[in-house]
């Protein structure tokens, strides 16, 4: 699908991968809405880009997300692309004093549960469009977990599973395509604690891979070094997924 002359919503769009996606899409004649919790960061980002509107919203707040859905229907009735990019991660290792439960709760809320809620609220509006798409930004650690970001890995594995099920459901009776973007470590402030500055690829490279993958209807979009791993993984995963769902 072509991502031009569309209305696009990007969560976590004020910096990092979200900002670079907004930058790229705004220059391709799209109306882009970026949301996040930090008003100053959002306004700064929007001031540097054409065709970008910032909206403050905490996606983990049910009340704020409900209000956002109403606002979008009223002000942006042609919303057709939702990019679930916002994320939260803690670097630590499991142990007696890791406080893993609280860290996992926050990560799952941001990276998984909030995605389900926002997506479900916006589905009716997106189904009214002639062509629409949902992009879930997961991670290669959703396929093979990292011991230093263990429950972040868990949350991305859950997001991956949700993406497969959502795609299967919407493909049967919907105009909405469902994509999954799987970047490796990216050089952003988000990944600074796990070596993003040293080992990460540029966020702009991730944005370019996303747009290219969507234009080719590539459902799982690997980036850089994740491509061979993801390709081999999905060859087996899809066989198992299809067999499971055909049996039901």
Catalytic residue numbers read: 152
Q: Residue 175: is it exposed, middle or buried by C-beta count within 10 angstroms (0-12/13-18/19+)?
A: middle
Token pair in block for residue 71: 């606002």
Token pair in block for residue 241: 């997924």
Nearest to 5 by CA among 155, 130, 120: 130
Is the dihedral angle over the CA atoms 1, 21, 183, 156 positive or is it negative?
negative
First to last CA, the chain: 31
Spatial contact of 87 and 109, defined as CB atoms under 8 Å apart? no
């Amino acid at each position: 699908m072509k991502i031009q002359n569309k209305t696009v919503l990007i969560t976590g769009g004020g910096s990092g991968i979200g900002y670079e996606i907004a930058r790229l899409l705004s220059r391709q004649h799209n109306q882009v809405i970026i949301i996040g919790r930090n008003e100053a960061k959002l306004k700064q980002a929007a001031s540097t880009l054409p065709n970008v509107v910032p909206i403050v919203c905490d996606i983990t707040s049910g009340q704020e997300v409900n209000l956002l859905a109403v606002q979008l229907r009223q002000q942006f009735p042609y919303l057709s692309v939702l990019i679930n990019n916002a994320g939260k991660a803690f670097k630590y290792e499991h142990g007696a004093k890791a406080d893993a439960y609280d860290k996992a709760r926050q990560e799952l809320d941001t990276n998984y549960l909030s995605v389900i809620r926002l997506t479900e609220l916006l589905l009716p509006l997106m189904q009214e469009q002639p062509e629409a798409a949902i992009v879930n930004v997961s991670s290669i650690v959703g396929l093979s977990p990292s011991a230093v970001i263990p429950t972040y890995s868990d949350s991305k594995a859950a997001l991956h599973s949700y993406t497969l099920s959502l795609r299967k459901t919407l493909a049967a009776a919907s105009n909405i395509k469902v994509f999954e973007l799987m970047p490796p470590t990216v050089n952003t402030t988000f990944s600074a604690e796990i070596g993003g500055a040293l080992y990460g690829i540029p966020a702009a490279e991730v944005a370019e891979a996303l747009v290219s993958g969507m234009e080719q209807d590539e459902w799982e979009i690997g980036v850089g070094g994740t491509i061979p791993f993801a390709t081999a993984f999905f060859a087996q995963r899809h066989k198992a997924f299809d067999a499971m769902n055909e049996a039901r």
